């Protein structure tokens, strides 16, 4: 059923079956990374062509399904452990606001610590990158403006008769 659901695009159901039906959390993570297409491949063929891998936004959707399934695990200790591990290892695939909205308020920061640190680092990196891009654009505009002034000075004034 997992394979059939995956091939039909019913990924949420496949992930539910992997986590709750089989309790195979590692395969569920592989399912999210590989898009469900190649999780049950013959032994010896460990190479997956990059063209068959889903895009990062598609993987993010699958990881979102997996996070929700981990949060539905009956065993509380298992729920916390699996959720914390998922967020620590694959935090880059999640939206911080969405995760904070899903995680129960009574959970400690220790469960989310690595995820939050990674998310804050990414925010700082993104901000620094946007400042660099803005500075480069300003420099480019200054160069073009300078060239315009130089060409205008070379041409000199023109008088048009009306």
Centroid of chain to Cα 55: 10
Q: Where in the sequence is the domain holding 59, given as residue range(s)?
A: 2-41+50-154
57-77: average pLDDT = 93
135 in any annotated domain: yes
Q: pLDDT averaged over the chain?
A: 86
72 in any annotated domain: yes
112 in any annotated domain: yes
159 in any annotated domain: no
160 in any annotated domain: no
What pLDDT score does 73 carry? 93
What pLDDT score does 115 carry? 86
What pLDDT score does 72 carry? 93
Model confidence pLDDT, tens digit, residues 92-119: 888 888 988 998 888 888 888 888 888 8
102 in any annotated domain: yes
141-155: average pLDDT = 91
Model confidence pLDDT, tens digit, residues 16-62: 999 998 989 999 999 998 887 656 655 555 566 666 678 889 999 99
What pLDDT score does 137 carry? 93
115 in any annotated domain: yes
Pinpoint the alpha helices (H) of 20-108: 25-34, 56-70, 76-90, 96-102
Cβ–Cβ under 8 Å, residues 5 and 11 = yes
What pLDDT score does 92 carry? 85
121 in any annotated domain: yes
Secondary structure class of 154 (helix, strand, coil): helix
Number of domains present in the structure of the chain: 1
What pLDDT score does 15 carry? 93
């Amino acid at each position: 059923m997992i394979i059939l659901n995956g091939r039909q695009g019913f990924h949420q159901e496949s992930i539910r079956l992997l986590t709750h039906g089989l309790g195979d959390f590692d395969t569920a993570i592989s399912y999210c990374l590989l898009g469900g297409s190649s999780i049950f491949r013959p032994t010896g063929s460990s190479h997956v062509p990059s063209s068959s891998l889903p895009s990062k936004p598609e993987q993010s959707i699958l990881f979102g399904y997996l996070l929700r399934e981990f949060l539905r695990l009956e065993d509380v200790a298992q729920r916390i452990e699996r959720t914390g591990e998922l967020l620590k290892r694959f935090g880059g695939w999640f939206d911080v606001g969405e995760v904070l909205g899903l995680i129960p308020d009574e959970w400690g920061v220790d469960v989310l610590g690595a995820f939050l640190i990674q998310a804050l680092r990414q925010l700082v990196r993104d901000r620094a990158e946007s400042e660099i891009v803005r500075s480069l654009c300003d420099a480019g505009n200054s160069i073009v403006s300078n060239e315009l002034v130089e060409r205008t000075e070379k041409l000199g004034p023109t008088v048009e008769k009306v």
